[in-house]
Amino acid sequence: MTESEFNELAEATMIAIEEAIDNSGADIEYDNVSEILTLEFDNGSQIIINKQTPLTQIWVAARAGGFHFDYDDASQSWRLDSDPGQELFACLSQYCSQQAGEAVELTQ
């Protein structure tokens, strides 16, 4: 994957995450500044999502830890590098649910 292909794909994913939050009905505020997407919860906790261009990964920092996602061409989705069975939006749903204290489902 070229750098421009990665940037286009990562930016589209960030927009899709924002749209998924809007569509979820959850009370999550978000802000996208300098290609860093910050999700903020009522309890003051945050999830930080950003792209790592040199590694062609999307990184997520949540209370549960730090996670790195690689793009999988076969499934056309971002997959957890340490466990490719885990998809980005499913993981984000889990992390958001933990930090929001209620079920949050983010779908692409």
Q: What value does the mean pLDDT take over residues 82-96?
A: 97
Q: Is residue 79 part of a domain?
A: yes
Q: What value does the mean pLDDT take over residues 83-90?
A: 96
Whole-Å CA distances, 15 to 4, 71, 99: 17, 16, 21
Flag whether the pTM goes above 0.75: yes
Q: Is residue 22 part of a domain?
A: yes
Instruction: Give CA torsion, residues 79, 85, 90, 94, to 10 deg.
Output: -110
Q: What CATH number does the domain containing 59 carry?
A: 3.30.920.10
Q: How many domains does the chain have?
A: 1
Q: Is residue 23 part of a domain?
A: yes
In tens, the pLDDT along 3-41 reads 999 999 999 999 999 999 999 989 999 999 988 999 999
Q: Is residue 27 part of a domain?
A: yes
Q: Is residue 37 part of a domain?
A: yes
Q: Is residue 106 part of a domain?
A: no
Domain that holds residue 65: 3-100
In tens, the pLDDT along 69-82 reads 999 999 999 999 99
